[in-house]
Structure 1
Amino acid sequence: MIRFENISKQNSHRILFLDSSAALNRGEKIGLVGPNGAGKTTLFRMITGEEAPDAGQVSIEKQVSIGYFNQDVGEMSGRSAVAEVMDGAGPVSAVAEELAALEAAMADPDRADEMDTIIERYGEVQARFEELGGYELEGRAREVLAGLSFSQEMMDGDVGTLSGGWKMRVALARILLMRPDAMLLDEPSNHLDLESLIWLEGFLKGYDGALLMTSHDREFMNRIVTKIIEIDGGTLTSYSGDYEFYERQRALNEKQQQAQFERQQAMLAKEIKFIERFKARASHAAQVQSRVKKLDKIERFEPPRRRQLVAFDFPPAPRSGEDVAVLRNVHKSYGSRSIYQGFDLTIRRKERWCVMGVNGAGKSTLLKLVAGAAEPDTGTVSVGGSVRMGYFSQHAMEVLDGESTVFETLDSTFPTANQGSLRALAGCFGFSGDDVEKKCRFLSGGEKARLVMALMLFNPPNFLVLDEPTNHLDLDTKEMLIKALANYEGTMLFVSHDRHFLATLSNRVLELTPEGIHQYAGGYTEYVESTGQEAPGLHS
């Protein structure tokens, strides 16, 4: 269906692909993996024709429709979210717009004298809308938007008033409604809450076209893909299986390659030693010559190219008192919307609370109350003795000084630390070599998140309050963070839509629902077992 045949591609001085081949066949669901900057987005852009390979070719079967979702959503305003989603389905959207305009005209008393003409035109347009399957399409568009957690009000409101994250969902919904022959999804799991993520998982499992996607959510990838294409060091390697199979297979291949390399090195060392020992003796001249020739002909094995993953070890945090945070009879509202009424919670030392609930349930509000970034309307929030808190929020990324470099930011925050340890810290969070000289205003969302995390964890607090800490992190950095936090001795309160993160790190669950607030002893895995659901919004 889509084939990459011996493609090569260079981006300024960096070689992305070198004589690489791979294929996306009908009905296949493929995960595209590789380190940041390896060329995943370039591969998508070559399929859509936005970029061309320097050599080789990308061939696509005739009449194959392709839907491409990426993070660059573009301008959206002046239409409802439903109209914007239906726009991806072709001419029916223009008819839907005229229909809406005529409905508004029929309700306008100032246009009473034109009513006959308007009604006549409405009949024609309505017939055309039906003919194009417009009513079914609108129903499907609303179904997709509801799956991505839109309320009816948001579906019918102006798409221009939505935040960037919600516009991203509108762009994703357009592709899903279109149901093309091949779907290219670049990070579709970003900006989604857990309920939307689980809905999308089900949708993609039922989609019968070909799928090529990237995702920083290993659980999401594991449940959908049946094949992995890895981009690394200019080559494309295919693995038949899910993400976990790929990880095991890759580790096994590396082990075998290392063993092969070591065996050959030992054999070469032995041969070279023989040659060195006997090269001056005439009696061994023939033997020495034949061994030199043999060595010249041997194809040398390369050692495995290991990705540089730096582990981050927490310095031990000072011990806090037993009661880390206590909320008593807390009430909190925003306007007419009540979030908490008489809420009580005690967080004790070494507890790791994950907070769950649908959008608007009050997850971030709780974290703000505990962190002192918001005040309760009534009631008290107190933090225990000897508690040193680290609070990570999306807002923290906005307050980085754009003119400072990564290293200057670390240096000014920890003026007494030596340069070596700050560079080691930067390396753990993916800033190696010249990356530390990048100014903060040029950093991507993921890089900013990593820098804020590094600032927070260098001198570790004994109480971590984390609001979606993995939102912008790639799979490798996320894995490093999960391993580091698994060994962390302090207390945690966090919100995350990453099920691997939730399952590995939580030992308590706080569930916020319209029916009430429930506390579960045991982590996310036990919560799923006892409720039979992976997220509160799925109770039905």
Structure 2
Amino acid sequence: MIRLDKIGKQNGHQIVFVEASAALQRGEKAGLVGPNGAGKTTLFRMIVGQEQPDEGQVAAERGITIGYFSQDVGEMAGRSVVAEVIDGAGPVSAVAAELRELEAALADPERMDELDALVARYGDVQARFEELGGYALEGRAQEVLAGLGFSQEMMDGDVGRLSGGWKMRVALARILLMRPDVMLLDEPSNHLDLESLIWLESFLKGYDGALLMTSHDREFMNRIVGKIVEIDGGSLTTYAGDYAFYEAQRALADSQAQSQFERQQAMLAKEIKFIERFKARASHAAQVQSRVKKLDKIERVEPPRRRQTVAFDFPAAPRSGEEVATLKGVHKRYGSRTIYEGLDFAIRRRERWCVMGVNGAGKSTLLKLVTGFAEPDTGTVTVGGTVKLGYFAQHAMDLLDGEQTVFETLEGAFPQAGQGSLRALAGCFGFSGDDVEKRCRVLSGGEKARLVMARMLYDPPNFLVLDEPTNHLDMDTKGMLIAALSRYEGTMLFVSHDRHFLAGLSNRLLELTPEGVHQYGGGYTEYVARTGQEAPGLRS
């Protein structure tokens, strides 16, 4: 359906693609992977015609529809969420718009002289609308929006009042409702909670069109795609399999390439040593010349490209007492809505609690109560006297000084630390070279999250409270964080929608449901095995 044939592309001084080729066939579901800045978004934009390749061609089958979801959702305001989603539903949305205009015209007393023509046109448009399934459109739109976590009240409300994250969901819903022949989804799993993520997984599995998507969620990618297209060093390489298969194949290819490179380097060193040793001897002149010619003809094996890998080890945190945090008889309301009623909950040393529940269940509220950012209406929240608490929340990224650089932010937090130590810390969290001189105001969401985390973990607390710590993080940084936290000897309380993170780190689970609060003595993996569900209220 879509073919990229020997494309070349340069953005400024950066060469993005060099004679790169790949194809997406009808019904295929493929993942697009590559390091940040490799050209994933550029490739999407070339497929939809927003950019052109400098060389080669991007060909799409004639007559196909392409839906493109990007992180840049544009302006939305002035109509309901449902109307905004329906407006993106392809040809039927244009017919629906004309139908609304005709209804307004028929109700306009000043256009009574056009009544016969309007009625005739209305009949034609109405028939076309019905033919395109228009009368089922609103129901389908509401079904998609409900799957993505919208309440009926939100669906009926003005889309302009939504936060950026909810507008992202609206933009995604527009593409899903459209059901084009080809979907291009750039990070669709961002801004989704676990329930919405699982619903989207199911939707995309049942979608019969072609799909090309990026995602920083390993589990999400593994469950949907059967093919990986990798961008690396300007080339496109296709792997038949899911993300886990790609990782294994990539590691094997790198290992083989490294071995081949080392064997050739050993052979070259041996030949060069012989040439250097005997080049001055007339008796060996013929042999020397023969070996020089042989070396000139050898095609050099390139070493595998080194991926930038990050690793972080926690310095030892001070040991806390056994009782880390205790909530007794806690009541909490927001307006007329009761969040907690008589909650009793205790966290002991080295426990790793993940908190699960649908939107509005009180996950973030619990973390705020424990950290002191919210007060209970009645009841008590007690944190142990020897507890050193670290709290990561999304609002922490907004508190960074926009005029300070990455390095100045770390230096201000740890004035006694050496420059080398702080640069090493920055490197662990993806800020290498000149990146440490970036001002905080120009950082992306992911870069801000990494900086806040680096600042928090350098002098580690013995009690970590984390609210969606993996939002905006790429797979490599997530992997580093999971590896580091698995070696962390303190206590954790966290909320996350990333199943890889949940399964890798939790050893206790707190489930918030309308029927009450349930505590489980094992982690997320045991919870799924015991309940048969991956999230509260959803059957796996």
* Equivalent residue letter for 2:57: Q
Return the alpha-carbon distance in structure 2 between the equivalents of residues 28 and 325 of structure 1: 50
- Matched with 1:79 is 79
More displaced stretch, 137-146 vs 392-401? 137-146
Return the alpha-carbon distance in structure 2 between the equivalents of residues 453 and 161 of structure 1: 30
The count of aligned residue pairs is 532
SS state of the match for residue 538, structure 1? coil
In the TM superposition, what is the alpha-carbon distance from 1:268 to its structure 2 partner?
A: 0.9
Q: How does 1:471-486 map to 2 (within 5 A)?
A: 471-486=471-486
Return the alpha-carbon distance in structure 1 between the equivalents of residues 155 and 103 of structure 2: 18
Is the contact between residue 25 and residue 210 of structure 2 (CA under 8 Å) also seen in structure 1? Answer: yes
Is the contact between residue 66 and residue 181 of structure 1 (CA under 8 Å) also seen in structure 2? Answer: yes
Is the contact between residue 391 and residue 466 of structure 1 (CA under 8 Å) also seen in structure 2? Answer: yes
Is the counterpart of residue 277 in structure 1 residue 285 in structure 2?
Answer: no
- Matched with 2:294 is 294
Return the alpha-carbon distance in structure 2 between the equivalents of residues 408 and 21 of structure 1: 43
What's the CA shift string for 1:124-168, capped at 9, x where partnerless?
586664344222122211111111111111112111111111111
SS state of the match for residue 536, structure 1? coil
Is the contact between residue 275 and residue 288 of structure 1 (CA under 8 Å) also seen in structure 2? Answer: yes
Unaligned runs of 5+ in 1: none
More displaced stretch, 337-346 vs 94-103? 94-103
SS state of the match for residue 262, structure 2? helix
What's the CA shift string for 1:423-476, capped at 9, x where partnerless?
000000100111111110000000000000001001000000000000100111
In the TM superposition, what is the alpha-carbon distance from 1:520 to its structure 2 partner?
A: 0.2
TM-aligned CA distance change 1:123 to 1:27, over 3 Å: closer
In the TM superposition, what is the alpha-carbon distance from 1:97 to its structure 2 partner?
A: 5.9
- Matched with 1:8 is 8
Is the counterpart of residue 424 in structure 1 residue 424 in structure 2?
Answer: yes
Is the contact between residue 83 and residue 96 of structure 1 (CA under 8 Å) also seen in structure 2? Answer: no
Return the alpha-carbon distance in structure 2 between the equivalents of residues 482 and 446 of structure 1: 16
Return the alpha-carbon distance in structure 1 between the equivalents of residues 310 and 502 of structure 2: 22
Is the counterpart of residue 343 in structure 1 residue 336 in structure 2?
Answer: no
More displaced stretch, 142-151 vs 327-336? 142-151
Is the contact between residue 83 and residue 93 of structure 1 (CA under 8 Å) also seen in structure 2? Answer: no
TM-aligned CA distance change 1:338 to 1:135, over 3 Å: same
Is the contact between residue 351 and residue 508 of structure 2 (CA under 8 Å) also seen in structure 1? Answer: yes
- Matched with 1:383 is 383
Is the counterpart of residue 58 in structure 1 residue 58 in structure 2?
Answer: yes
In the TM superposition, what is the alpha-carbon distance from 1:90 to its structure 2 partner?
A: 3.7
What's the CA shift string for 1:81-107, capped at 9, x where partnerless?
11111111245435656877999999x
- Matched with 1:257 is 257
Return the alpha-carbon distance in structure 2 between the equivalents of residues 348 and 538 of structure 1: 29
TM-aligned CA distance change 1:90 to 1:514, over 3 Å: same
- Matched with 2:318 is 318
In the TM superposition, what is the alpha-carbon distance from 1:303 to its structure 2 partner?
A: 1.2
* Equivalent residue letter for 1:495: V
Q: How does 1:39-58 map to 2 (within 5 A)?
A: 39-58=39-58
Is the counterpart of residue 524 in structure 1 residue 524 in structure 2?
Answer: yes
Q: How does 1:121-520 map to 2 (within 5 A)?
A: 129-520=129-520
Is the contact between residue 310 and residue 476 of structure 2 (CA under 8 Å) also seen in structure 1? Answer: no
Cα root mean square deviation, aligned: 2.2
Is the contact between residue 509 and residue 520 of structure 1 (CA under 8 Å) also seen in structure 2? Answer: yes
Return the alpha-carbon distance in structure 1 between the equivalents of residues 534 and 401 of structure 2: 39
Is the contact between residue 10 and residue 54 of structure 2 (CA under 8 Å) also seen in structure 1? Answer: yes
Is the contact between residue 510 and residue 518 of structure 1 (CA under 8 Å) also seen in structure 2? Answer: yes
SS state of the match for residue 494, structure 2? strand
What's the CA shift string for 1:181-239, capped at 9, x where partnerless?
11000000000010110111111111111110000000000000111111111111111
Return the alpha-carbon distance in structure 2 between the equivalents of residues 403 and 74 of structure 1: 27
In the TM superposition, what is the alpha-carbon distance from 1:504 to its structure 2 partner?
A: 0.2
SS state of the match for residue 537, structure 2? helix
Return the alpha-carbon distance in structure 1 between the equivalents of residues 493 and 442 of structure 2: 31
* Equivalent residue letter for 2:499: R
TM-aligned CA distance change 1:316 to 1:105, over 3 Å: farther
SS state of the match for residue 331, structure 1? strand
TM-aligned CA distance change 1:203 to 1:478, over 3 Å: same
Is the contact between residue 32 and residue 230 of structure 2 (CA under 8 Å) also seen in structure 1? Answer: yes
Return the alpha-carbon distance in structure 2 between the equivalents of residues 24 and 131 of structure 1: 30
Is the contact between residue 354 and residue 509 of structure 2 (CA under 8 Å) also seen in structure 1? Answer: yes
Return the alpha-carbon distance in structure 2 between the equivalents of residues 362 and 103 of structure 1: 44
TM-aligned CA distance change 1:236 to 1:131, over 3 Å: closer
In the TM superposition, what is the alpha-carbon distance from 1:304 to its structure 2 partner?
A: 1.1
Return the alpha-carbon distance in structure 2 between the equivalents of residues 35 and 297 of structure 1: 34
Is the contact between residue 96 and residue 129 of structure 2 (CA under 8 Å) also seen in structure 1? Answer: yes
* Equivalent residue letter for 1:528: V
TM-aligned CA distance change 1:20 to 1:130, over 3 Å: closer
In the TM superposition, what is the alpha-carbon distance from 1:17 to its structure 2 partner?
A: 1.0
Return the alpha-carbon distance in structure 2 between the equivalents of residues 215 and 487 of structure 1: 26
What's the CA shift string for 1:327-346, capped at 9, x where partnerless?
00000011000000000100
TM-aligned CA distance change 1:189 to 1:354, over 3 Å: same
* Equivalent residue letter for 1:430: G
TM-aligned CA distance change 1:104 to 1:154, over 3 Å: farther
Is the contact between residue 99 and residue 122 of structure 2 (CA under 8 Å) also seen in structure 1? Answer: no
Return the alpha-carbon distance in structure 2 between the equivalents of residues 434 and 129 of structure 1: 56
* Equivalent residue letter for 2:283: S
TM-score under structure 2 normalisation?
0.95
SS state of the match for residue 56, structure 1? strand
> Percent identity, aligned pairs only?
81
Is the contact between residue 364 and residue 495 of structure 2 (CA under 8 Å) also seen in structure 1? Answer: yes
More displaced stretch, 305-314 vs 322-331? 305-314
